[in-house]
Chain A
Amino acid sequence: MKPNFWMRSISFAKLRDLLLLIARENGTLRAKDLNQLAIRQGVLVRDGGEPFRPTTIYHYRRILERLGLVVKDEGRFLIRSPEDAATLTCGTAIGEPLTNPQRSAFASAVVTNRDCHEIFFRPLLGAVALPRDIDDFLERAGPATLSVTRTKGGPPTIRVASQLEVVESKGEAAVQAIVWGIKLWCTSELNFIDELLSIRGAHQLLPRRVDEPLNPEVQARRLFKLFQFTNGWATQRIEDLLVTAAINWKSPITNTREVLLWILRTYPHAAVAVPTSEQFALNRLPRAQRDIALRSYLRLPTGQLVSHIRLHKQAELELADGGRAHARS
Chain B
Amino acid sequence: MQEAEGLARLGLKYNPFPPASTGVAHVNDLWIPDAWQQDLRARYKDLQTGQGDRALPIVGEYGSGKTYLLRWMGETLFEPSNIRHFAFDNPGVAFYDLANRLLRQVGRYELSKALWEVVSLRQTHTTQPRLVDFTFPEWLSSIRQPSAKADAIGQLRGQILGLELTTDEEIAHKVALMVAETGSRPYFEYRDFVAGKAGALVAEREEAPYFRTLIRILLLVNSADGIAFLIDEFEDVALQRRLTKKQSFEYLATLRRLLDVSAELPLWLVVSMTPEAFAQTTSLDPSLAERFAPEYRIPPLTQSEAYGMVRHRVGEARIQSREGIFPFEEGMIEELRLSTSSKARPLIKVLFQAVASASSRGMSPPIPTELVREAEETVYPVAK
Tell me whether B190 is interfacial, beta carbon within 8 Å: no
Give which listed residue, B276, B338, B343, contacts A307 with CB less than 8 A.
Answer: B276
Residues of B within 8 A of A310 (CB): 61, 300, 342
Name B274-330 residues within 8 Å CB distance of A: 274-277, 279-280, 283-284, 297, 299-300, 302
Whether the pair A199, B235 counts as a contact (CB closer than 8 A) is no
Residues of B within 8 A of A277 (CB): 235-236, 239, 274
Whether the pair A280, B276 counts as a contact (CB closer than 8 A) is yes
Tell me whether A287 is interfacial, beta carbon within 8 Å: no
Whether the pair B239, A269 counts as a contact (CB closer than 8 A) is no
Known: A199-B284, A200-B283, A237-B275. A283 touches B245 (CB 8 A): yes
By a beta-carbon cutoff of 8 Å, the part of chain B in contact with chain A is: 61-62, 235-236, 238-239, 243-245, 248, 274-277, 279-280, 283-284, 297, 299-300, 302, 337-339, 342-343, 382-383
Whether the pair B339, A271 counts as a contact (CB closer than 8 A) is yes
Q: How many residues of chain A have a CB within 8 Å of chain B?
A: 31
Chain A residue at minimum C-beta to C-beta distance from B249: A199
Q: Which 5 A-B pairs have the closest CB atoms?
A: A269-B337, A307-B276, A276-B276, A199-B283, A268-B382
Name A295-320 residues within 8 Å CB distance of B: 301, 307-308, 310, 312, 314
Chain B residue at minimum C-beta to C-beta distance from A265: B383
Whether the pair B300, A233 counts as a contact (CB closer than 8 A) is yes
Distance between Cα atoms of A198 and B279 in the complex (Å): 11
Chain B residue at minimum C-beta to C-beta distance from A236: B275
Whether the pair B339, A231 counts as a contact (CB closer than 8 A) is no
Distance between Cα atoms of A193 and B302 in the complex (Å): 42
Distance between Cα atoms of A280 and B249 in the complex (Å): 12
12 further contact pairs, Cβ within 8 A, besides A270-B337, A283-B239, A283-B243: A231-B300, A232-B302, A270-B339, A271-B339, A272-B342, A274-B61, A274-B274, A275-B61, A275-B62, A277-B235, A280-B276, A308-B276
Distance between Cα atoms of A269 and B342 in the complex (Å): 10
Chain B residue at minimum C-beta to C-beta distance from A235: B275
Tell me whether A328 is interfacial, beta carbon within 8 Å: yes
CB distance from B125 to the nearest CB of A (A): 54
CB distance from B269 to the nearest CB of A (A): 21
Whether the pair B244, A283 counts as a contact (CB closer than 8 A) is yes
Residues of A within 8 A of B300 (CB): 231-233, 272, 310
A selection of 11 A-B contacts at a CB cut-off of 8 Å is A200-B283, A268-B337, A269-B337, A277-B239, A283-B239, A284-B245, A307-B274, A307-B275, A310-B61, A312-B339, A328-B337
Whether the pair B277, A280 counts as a contact (CB closer than 8 A) is yes
Tell me whether A279 is interfacial, beta carbon within 8 Å: yes
CB distance from A244 to the nearest CB of B (A): 14
Whether the pair B239, A280 counts as a contact (CB closer than 8 A) is yes
Chain B residue at minimum C-beta to C-beta distance from A264: B383
Chain A residue at minimum C-beta to C-beta distance from B281: A199
Distance between Cα atoms of A232 and B304 in the complex (Å): 14
